[in-house]
């Protein structure tokens, strides 16, 4: 953690941070959802205990000091995490309100979850502060174009919403949480969909002409029937 403290001190004093220092402002791919996605199966995040997940989240990696702004040493940046959870829940709710989900999900589960979301929605709306210019906003053209400095929210309303979100997160059970977790499948449905679509994209457009079935069969035989060049053990790890 010393490296993070040193970086914060350097930023505060106006000293340029070395290029190999961990970035203090997280990129979207630094966030925990991106870090724990298993591109070849179900993510273990579904079953990991909260205390272990908290430790993983705080440790970060070589590029990022942590995987959530909740872990940021600067308290001004912690509320970014509340904005993020609010934004994704609002987008999830909007998606699930579509008829294709309403008509195909078990009505008892769906109605209970959406009723809970309806109660939570004002809280998410209040806590989503996307594009607000905080005290550490960059002096860049983008910060001027997209920031909405000055459009701050009422303190009492934010406090009330934060209390409601905190209370909801502390609940051991939640119909909304259960439905979202069920539909996520530990990421496996998304992963399977992208793998399938990537194959269709390559077969149709990846080469000068569509890939014929004979080539597809040959590639499979090279790997599965021993017709290809000998591969080292490291080439086969995880396959």
Query: Cβ atoms within 10 A of the Cβ of 71, count?
Result: 20
Kindly report, residue by residue over 81-95, the tens digit of the pLDDT: 999 999 999 999 999
- pLDDT (0 to 100) of residue 228: 76
Q: Where are the domains of the chain?
A: 1-73, 191-236
Q: What is the pTM of this model?
A: 0.79
- pLDDT (0 to 100) of residue 24: 84
Q: Are 57 and 68 in contact (CB under 8 A)?
A: yes
Kindly report, residue by residue over 152-169, the tens digit of the pLDDT: 899 999 999 999 999 999
CA distance 21 to 221: 46
Kindly report, residue by residue over 183-219, the tens digit of the pLDDT: 999 999 999 999 999 999 999 999 999 999 999 999 9
């Amino acid at each position: 953690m010393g490296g993070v403290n040193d970086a914060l001190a350097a930023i505060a004093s106006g000293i340029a941070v070395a290029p190999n220092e961990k970035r203090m402002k997280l990129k979207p791919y630094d966030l925990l959802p991106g870090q724990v996605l298993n591109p070849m199966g179900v993510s273990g995040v579904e079953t990991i205990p909260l205390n272990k997940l908290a430790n993983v989240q705080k440790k970060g990696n070589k590029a990022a000091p942590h995987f959530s702004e909740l872990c940021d040493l600067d308290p001004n940046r912690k509320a970014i995490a509340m904005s993020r959870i609010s934004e994704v829940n609002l987008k999830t709710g909007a998606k699930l309100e579509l008829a294709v989900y309403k008509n195909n999900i078990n009505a008892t589960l769906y109605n209970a979850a959406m009723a809970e979301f309806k109660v939570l929605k004002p809280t998410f709306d209040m806590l989503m502060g996307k594009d607000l210019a905080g005290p550490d906003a960059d002096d860049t053209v983008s910060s001027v174009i997209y920031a909405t400095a000055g459009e701050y929210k009422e303190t009492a309303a934010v406090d009330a919403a934060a209390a409601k979100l905190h209370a909801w997160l502390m609940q051991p059970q939640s119909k909304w949480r259960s439905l979202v977790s069920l539909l996520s499948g530990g990421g496996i449905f998304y992963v399977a969909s992208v793998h399938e679509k990537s194959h269709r994209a390559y077969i149709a457009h990846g080469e000068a002409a569509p890939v014929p079935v004979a080539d597809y069969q040959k590639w499979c035989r090279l790997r599965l029937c021993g017709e290809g060049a000998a591969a080292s053990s490291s080439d086969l790890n995880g396959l």
